[in-house]
Structure 1
Amino acid sequence: MAVPKRKTSKARRDRRRSAKSRLTIPNIIECPQCHETKLPHRVCAACGYYDGKEVISVE
């Protein structure tokens, strides 16, 4: 069984663990139909349009 030869320092350990915390903020765009904010390449939750066409009917 593999055993570490030396103790991993706290700085090295924490640097490796902090790589997961570097998440990016998602892009938010304006819907061309209703001008609400939405995620790109997704149907607008406010009006139901995608790519200029009504995909779902929103009441």
Structure 2
Amino acid sequence: MALPKYKMSRANTRTRRSTWKAKAAQTITCPNCGAPTLAHVACPSCGSYRGRVYREAIRSAHTK
């Protein structure tokens, strides 16, 4: 297994790690009910995906 030959400075370590960032999940508005949903996932409010209802809603539209 490879090991570092020299100590890496804090600046170089932090510069290298600065590119590893978590991105926020992309949300879209549901065309059926208008609630924000994840892309390519059935809507949690109304249960529809691409114009078809696949399941019952997990939570009702009136709960927060």
Q: Is the pair's TM-score, using the shorter chain for normalization, greater than 0.5?
A: yes
* TM-score of the two chains, using structure 1 as the length reference: 0.76
Gaps of 5+ in 2: none
After superposition, the C-alpha distances for 1:18-37 in whole angstroms (9 at most, x for unaligned) are 333x1222211100001000
Secondary structure, in 3 states, of the residue corresponding to 2:45? coil
Q: Partners of 1:39 and 1:31 in 2: how far apart?
A: 9
What code does the residue aligned with 1:40 have? A
CA root-mean-square deviation = 2.0
Q: Partners of 1:23 and 1:46 in 2: how far apart?
A: 26
* TM-score of the two chains, using structure 2 as the length reference: 0.72
What code does the residue aligned with 1:32 have? P
For residues 7 and 41 of structure 1, do their structure 2 counterparts lie closer, same or farther at Cα, with a shift above 3 Å needed? Answer: same
- Which residue in the other structure is 2:43 paired with? 44
Higher helix share: 1
After superposition, the C-alpha distances for 1:10-54 in whole angstroms (9 at most, x for unaligned) are 11112223333x122221110000100001110000000001000
Secondary structure, in 3 states, of the residue corresponding to 1:19? coil
For residues 11 and 54 of structure 1, do their structure 2 counterparts lie closer, same or farther at Cα, with a shift above 3 Å needed? Answer: same
Pairs aligned (count): 57
